[in-house]
Amino acid sequence: MAYSTSGNGPGLVTFDTEKLSHCSFEVGPIRPPSEGGSHSLLLRATRNCSWNRCRFCYGMIYNREKFELRSVEDIKKDIDAVKAIADEIKAVSWKLGYGGAVKADVGIAMIRRDPSLRANQSFVIVFDWFHFGARTVFLQDANTLIMPTDQLLEVVRYLKKTFPTIERITSYARAKTLAKKPLEELKELSSAGLSRLHVGLETGDDELLSNVDKGVTAAEHIEAGKKAKEAGFELSEYVMIDLGGRARSEQHARNTARVLNEIDPDFIRLRPLAIGPGLPLYEDYTQGLLQLSSPHERLQEVKTLVENLHVTSSVCFDHFLNSWYRDSDRRYTLFKQEYDGYKFPQEKDKVLQLIEEGLRVDESTHIHVKDLIGLAHL
C-alpha cells in the first residue's frame, strides 16, 4: 500500500479505530511471486515446513521452527478478521461516496484519521487485496496440502462462502504429499475451489534429489504431478538452476526436462540457486564440494533444459534472480519476468534466441551468481 497522504484528497472520516486495531490475522513469511504483491490475500493455514531438511533451504525462512497444523477454528477466525477489516473499509467507502469500492482515496482518508494503520500489516493486506478485486488467495505455509482433507475442504469452502469474489485459491504442496493423497480427495479439493498448486521439483535427477535431501524421487515427482493434473489443479513446477553446480549441470538439465515432459505442468518456473551462510549446501560451497557455474554456464544449463523440453507449459522467469547483465549503470534482464512467461511450444524458439543473445554478451557484464550468495529468495 503506497498511497500518498499529502496534498489534496479526502478529509477526515470517522470509523471504529479501536476495532481495526484489534482485528488481525496470522501471516507467514513466504509466498510465490505470482501469488504475492498486493493481489493475493495471504492466509496462514499451516506453520513452517513439514520436511525442513532440503539442504538449499533447510527451513531457514521459518527460522527452523517446528511444523504445525493450525486448527480449522483458528483459520476461520482469521477469515472472519479479514471480513471485519474489509467491512470497515467498505463502510468508509460508502461515507466518501464510492459505493463500497475500495479506492486509493479510501485508504488515504483512513490513514489520515489513524496514521498507525500504515504499519498495520493486516489492514494493509486486506485493503490492497480488495483494491485489486479480492480475487486470489494464497494459503501459507510450505505444505498446506498435508492438512487432513476434510479440514482443508472446510477452510476452502468457508473462504469461498465469505468472499464470493474469489476466483483462485492456491497453495504450496510437497510432491510426496501429493503422491500419497488419494486422487478422489484431490478431486474434491479441486472442485471445492483449491485451484492451483505450487510444487518444488528443483531437479528431476535422482542423484541430485538425494544429495540435497529433497525427500522425494523423480518417479514420485512424476506421479504427484500427473495426479495433480488429473485432479484438475493448475500446476506450477519449480526448477532450481545450478542446483548441481558445474559438475552435474548436464544431468540436472536433461533429467529435469525428462520429468517435466512426463508431467507437462501448466507452469515451469525457474529459480537460480542462491545460497547463504547457515545452509548445508553453502558449507559444500565453502569447502569446494560444490562449484557454482559461471553466468554463461548457467545460461547453457537453461539452454540444455529448454532444448529438451517437449511440453505445452508456460516457462517463466518470474523472479529477480534470473539472468541479468549490466551496461554502464543500468541492469537488464534477458527474459521477461511476467508471471505467465513464455508459452511452449509456440515460444520455445524465442527463449532459445534470448539465451543465445545472453551468451553473446561479454560474461564480465553479467551479474555473477557469486554476487547473489546470501540474498534472500522467495
Is 376 a residue whose pLDDT tops 50?
no
- 344 three-state secondary structure: coil
Render pLDDT for 207-245 as a digit per residue (tens, 0 to 9).
999 999 999 999 999 999 999 999 999 999 999 999 999
Show contacts of 126-130: CB within 8 Å, 24+ apart: 126/41, 126/82, 126/85, 126/86, 126/89, 127/1, 127/85, 127/89, 127/102, 128/1, 128/38, 128/39, 129/38, 129/39, 129/40, 129/41, 130/86, 130/89, 130/90, 130/102
Q: Is the dihedral of CA 295, 352, 266, 181 positive or negative?
A: negative
Across residues 84-112, what is the average pLDDT?
Answer: 95
What is the reported pLDDT for 220?
A: 97
- Percentage of residues in the chain with pLDDT exceeding 90? 74
Residue 242 and residue 305: Cα distance in Å, rounded? 11
Across residues 288-315, what is the average pLDDT?
Answer: 96
Render pLDDT for 153-164 as a digit per residue (tens, 0 to 9).
999 999 999 999
Q: Are strands 314-316 and 342-343 parallel, antiparallel or unpaired?
A: antiparallel
Residue 206 and residue 167: Cα distance in Å, rounded? 37
Strands (E), 210-340: 234-239, 267-270, 314-316, 324-327, 330-333
Across residues 104-112, what is the average pLDDT?
Answer: 94
Per the structure block, which three cell numbers stand in for 218?
A: 523423480
pLDDT higher at 256 or 17: 256
Is 1 a residue whose pLDDT tops 60?
no
Angle at 55 between CA 54 and CA 58, to 5 degrees: 65
Is 17 a residue whose pLDDT tops 60?
yes
pTM of the predicted structure, to 2 decimals = 0.91
What is the reported pLDDT for 373?
A: 66
Is 35 a residue whose pLDDT tops 90?
no
Distance from the Cα of residue 130 to its chain's centroid: 20
What is the reported pLDDT for 31?
A: 85
- 345 three-state secondary structure: coil
What is the reported pLDDT for 377?
A: 42
Per the structure block, which three cell numbers stand in for 140?
A: 501459507
Residue 364's Cβ-count burial label (10 Å; 0-12, 13-18, 19+) is exposed
Is 38 a residue whose pLDDT tops 90?
no
